[in-house]
Structure 1
Amino acid sequence: MADTDEVPRPATSFGPPLVARLPETSYFPPPPPGGPRPVKPPNRAGALVGVLIVAVLTVAGMAIARPPTVDGQAMAVPGALTSEGAKAPAGKAKPAPKEVRELETNPLLAAGVVLGEVTCRLPPISRDPAKLETYYKTFASCLADAWKPALEQANEPTLTATVQVTLPETSACGEAPSKNEAVAYYCGGDTTIYAPTEWMLGDAGLERSRHLATMAHEYGHHVQRSSGILSAAAEKMTSPEENSPADKEVVRRIELQANCFGALALAAAAGRGSISNSLANAALADYGRTDDSDTHGNRRNQLKWAKAGFSGKSTASCNTWAAPAQEVG
């Protein structure tokens, strides 16, 4: 499909968002008997390009889901690998891949870790649910191919992400959000991106750049889930207070990194197959078509981190955990 098939964009790519930001709710599956008690997170508002992200991590037998972040409560792992520790000692077999519950020093963010260039051959985008599902699944498979070399370099697992365009009543994240609460969401408990056809088309129509930006961001959360970054972030979110500034800053670092990861993957596919340079740049610009948010960062920083991934070409460009507070505000 030629780029001219795009739905006309606003006069400026960085103008107002296509839809208003949606309210959020929180989901708390009960912990098992004897398991750790969940810490109640703050109620949060605001979402990237109208996307509500619900995630769940199963840690120590407990699942917590919280939109729009992807996180959970995790127990510390003694002796977690650093970027240096991820390398196998000379003469010894490389250890099995494992998540590393570290943030700034996570092996995935080490210098020299890069995605593989990929050629995404996507079918035409369509309003037909089955065809749209095929479009998403094909792109998700391409994103997996792009991220696989980076996760292998970090010696972290390459978990499989699935895509579903119908909304279940319940999932591993508990009760599904309503139409008024979400456009798409990622559930870490079943590593699934839920992108209901009606919601996605209502938000983006057939504007391919917007669909690609949304799915790449969601897959970025999946990479955070696979690497252990989300588990490490969850350990920092321990405040029992509603609207805790410290917890909100952690959430912003999660979300801004997902922007960066999404754009990093778009750059790995740009100029080949179905994703031309102009389409990739239009998807990049979509990260700037959003409102200021105390959980996702201001519009300038949301676009800034996406650009960092798109132009930086390495995962180290997406280390929001090492950035000063003003860069994740």
Structure 2
Amino acid sequence: MAARPPAANPWAAPAWQRPARRRGGATVGAVLALVILVVTVGGVAVVPHELSGHALAVPTALHRADSAPDGARSTPAAVPELETNPLLANGVKLGEVSCDLPELGQTGAELEAYYEALTGCLEQAWRPALGHADEPSEKVSVSVTLPKVSACGSAPSQDQAVAYYCGGDSTIYAPTDWMLADAGQNRSRHLATIAHEYGHHVQDESGILAAAGDRMTSPNQDTPHDQALVRRIELQANCFGALFIAAAEGRGSISRATANAAVADYGRADDSDDHGSRANQLAWAKAGFSAGTTSACNTWSAPDSAVS
């Protein structure tokens, strides 16, 4: 079938931008319309000790590729669907990886080297799952400096985010000062945050972010309906982050102790309208870590009580 671009929506302006964690207890914005900083324990929203964030998805024409003679799509393409997204089908797993990470330093160059190695390992782990779903697996960039303006518009303030993902340029922004103020030399916290942010990248690549954006009803995603969608996005990013942690646990630079601490870090956030209750933020991380399959992260088919 010919490809059909998704309907216009607030998220699809420049690109998905998600704040990493929030500082304090305040919520930072919605996932789509706002420059949603996806706060994750290492992620896109803006919460000091919690996962939260936003995402501005300016998806390039997301569509299914024309079918090949045998009915299969000729090239990987994002599928703008939520609960029925191929990435969330039964039996889809990440590949086990052994991450060789450098020492976690305190300079921008040292942090950048650490994040580059970590995101390379994340890409390696996620590639089999996205390949199974016949969806793209593109490299993500990492920046430890904060641009005044990016493909997702103006950057959030330090009070809003610790790190965030911008789909417009497929970049995780993790400013050195912000990350060190939030995580210091706590390797598990850096791991949880970047894994959460990469989870937003996976949502972008798979078409989940675009599909969520199409369901938004308000420019600022501040209605109860839109906040519920944002919570499902953020909680899924926690689950995706923990899926990776499980795939890397006990090998290379990620010991079992570091992995367990990283998963527990997802439960350090306060209750949030756009990231969910502290209990649910941790519950979805534990679900991904324990199950090991992407279907365990289908927040879109979960009851409201599980994503409150």
| TM-score, scaled relative to structure 2 | 0.83
Q: 1:125 & 1:73 partners in 2: Cα distance? A: 33
Confirm or deny that 1:258 pairs with 2:237.
Answer: yes
Structure 1 residues 215-230: aligned runs within 5 Å: 215-230=194-209
Equivalent of residue 70 in structure 1, options 44, 49, 55: 55
Pair 1:297–1:104, CA change in 2 (3 A): same
In our comparison, the structure showing a higher alpha carbon Rg is 1
Report the counterpart of residue 284 of structure 1 in structure 2. Answer: 263
Q: Which residue does the alignment assign to 1:208?
A: 187
Per the alignment, residue 25 of structure 2 pairs with 21
Partners in 1 of 2:60 and 2:114 — Cα distance?
Answer: 37
Contact persistence 2:151–2:168 (CA under 8 A): yes
- The letter of the residue matching 2:53 is P
**Which residue is equivalent to 1:12?**
none
Cα distance, 1:244–1:202 mapped onto 2, change above 3 Å: same
TM-score computed with the length of structure 1 as normaliser: 0.78
Task: Give, in angstroms, the shift of residue 94 of structure 1.
Answer: 5.1
Secondary structure of the corresponding residue to residue 172 of structure 2: strand
Q: Residue in 2 aligned with 1:195?
A: 174
Once residues 75 and 172 of structure 1 are traced to their aligned partners in structure 2, the CA distance between those partners, rounded to angstroms, is 12
Write the distance in 2 (CA, Å) between the matches of 1:97 and 1:308. Answer: 28
Distance in 2, matches of 1:189 and 1:275, equals 30
Instruction: Give a deviation string over 1:97-132, Cα, whole Å, max 9, x none.
Output: 000000000000001111000000101101021111
Residues 1:290 and 1:188: Cα distance change in structure 2 (over 3 Å): same
Using a 3 Å threshold, how does the CA distance of structure 1 residues 45 and 277 change in structure 2: closer, same or farther? closer
Which residues in structure 2 correspond to 1:36-75 (within 5 Å)?
Answer: 41=33, 47-49=39-41, 52-53=44-45, 68-72=53-57
Q: Distance in 1 between matches of 2:56 and 2:186?
A: 29
After superposition, the Cα gap between the structure-2 partners of 1:125 and 1:22, relative to the gap in structure 1 and judged at 3 Å, is farther
Cα gap change, 1:275 to 1:166, in 2 (>3 Å): same
Alpha carbons of structure 1 residues 73 and 188: separation in structure 2 relative to 1, 3 Å: closer
C-alpha displacement at 1:53, in angstroms? 3.6
Structure 1: how far apart are the matches of 2:276 and 2:269? 10
Check the 8 A contact 1:22/1:46 in 2, yes or no. Answer: no
Tell me the amino acid that sits aligned with residue 147 of structure 1. W
Please give the secondary structure, in 2, of the residue aligned with 1:190: coil
Task: Give 5+ residue unaligned stretches, structure 1.
Answer: 1-16, 28-39, 55-66
Q: Name the CA shift for 1:127/1:243 in 2 (closer, same or farther; >3 Å).
A: same
**Displacement, 1:71?**
4.4
Displaced runs of 4+ in structure 1, greater than 6 A?
42-46, 73-78
1:171-219 CA distance string (max 9 Å, x none): 1011222223221111110000000111000001100000000000000
Which runs of structure 2 are paired with 1:105-116 in the superposition (5 Å)? Answer: 105-116=84-95
Find out whether 1:299 has 2:278 as its counterpart: yes
Secondary structure at the aligned position of 1:163 is classed as strand
Match of 1:154 among 133, 141, 162: 133
Percentage identity across paired residues of the two chains? 57
CA contact (8 A) 1:76 1:101 kept: no
1:142 aligns with 2:121: yes
